[in-house]
Amino acid sequence: MIFLLNSLDKNSQIKIIKDLSKIIYKSPFFTPTLPRFNKPFKIKISNAGKWGWISNIQGYQYVEKHPETKKNWPEIPSSLLYLWQKHCCKIKMPDSCLINLYSFPNSSLGLHQDNNEKDLTNPVLSISLGSNAIFRYGKNKTNLNEICLKTGSICILKDSSRLYYHGVKKIQKVKENIIDECDFDCFPKNCRINITLRKFEG
Ligand code: MD3
Ligand code: FE
């Protein structure tokens, strides 16, 4: 696991937030639910790319259409593809971009592994924007590291870290939230957005 803390400058973060607002306009946030129990997650999500990750009573899956609008997901913006090429891979492009919305103060994400992708040797790239996340991760559930992911931080998962357990314990609000400064109605005040770029198909 490679952390590039505060790696994106303000202008690149603003460009990404604008691109996200266009995605959310076409593909609104929705609340995923837990497989089997159908209990709502404490985050909202949307996607871009050919394959969007969803969760509902049936399980976790990658699907080509938004579960509510039934439309294809919007394209992954070039501002994000550029970061994938810079930090992950020049050859294979991601085909999935999950956008997680954390509201302050009640959002969190339980400890889990990401193993729904077909080829787990492909890397994952994550970008944090807005409020801070208290992020926990480790090889086992019992021995976790904790780190504060601030706005503009990038996290790269490859090789042995690809199957680490990880989750977001809580959200901490910040004095100047760059998402609030952009002033889009689609994002609540004091929120955090996490973007994960992945390759779902081989
Ligand atoms: C470690 N998202 O969407 S991003 C997820 O902050 C997810 O929203 C978190 O976990 C968030 O699945 C964490 C950092 C991250 C992403 C993928 C990973 C860490 C990872 C895959 C494997 C190991
Ligand atoms: Fe995850």
Going by CA atoms, what residue is nearest to atom 4 of ligand 1?
A: 126
Ligand 1 neighbour 179 (Cβ under 6 A): no
Ligand 1 neighbour 194 (Cβ under 6 A): yes
CA 175 to centroid of chain Cα atoms: 22
Element holding 179 (H helix, E strand)? helix 178-182
Residue 81 scores a pLDDT above 90: yes
| pLDDT, the chain, mean | 97
User: Which residue is listed with tokens 């505060």?
Assistant: 6
Going by C-alpha positions, the residue among 20, 28, 4 that lies closest to residue 184 is 20
Ligand 1 neighbour 98 (Cβ under 6 A): yes
Where does the pLDDT of residue 189 fall: very low under 50, low under 70, confident under 90, or very high at 90 and above? Answer: very high
Q: Compute the distance from residue 3 Cα to the ligand 2 centre, in Å.
A: 15
- Looking from the CA of residue 155, the nearest atom of ligand 1 is 14
Amino acid identity, position 190 = N
Where does the pLDDT of residue 90 fall: very low under 50, low under 70, confident under 90, or very high at 90 and above? Answer: confident
Residue 123 scores a pLDDT above 90: yes
Q: Compute the distance from residue 167 Cα to the ligand 1 centre, in Å.
A: 7
Parallel, antiparallel or unpaired: strands 96-102 and 154-157: unpaired
Q: Compute the distance from residue 112 Cα to the ligand 2 centre, in Å.
A: 6
- Of 196, 199, 200, the residue with max ligand 1 atoms within 8 A of its CB, to mutate for a pocket test, comes to 196
Ligand 1 neighbour 168 (Cβ under 6 A): yes
Mean pLDDT of 119-134: 97
Instruction: Give residue 202's pLDDT.
Output: 81
* Interval 28-51: pLDDT, tens: 999 999 999 999 999 999 999 999
Element holding 155 (H helix, E strand)? strand 154-157
Backbone dihedral region for residue 79 (phi beyond 0: left; psi -120 to 50: alpha; all else: beta): alpha
- Looking from the CA of residue 168, the nearest atom of ligand 1 is 6
- Could you tell me the maximum CA-CA distance found in the chain, to the nearest angstrom? 42
- Looking from the CA of residue 112, the nearest atom of ligand 1 is 10
* Interval 4-18: pLDDT, tens: 999 999 999 999 999
Q: How far apart are the first and last CA of the chain?
A: 21
On whether the CB atoms of residues 96 and 47 are closer than 8 A, the answer is yes
What residues have their beta carbon closer than 5 A to ion ligand 2?
114
Cα separation, 202 vs 186, whole angstroms: 33
* Interval 162-183: pLDDT, tens: 999 999 999 999 999 999 999 9
DSSP label of 132: E
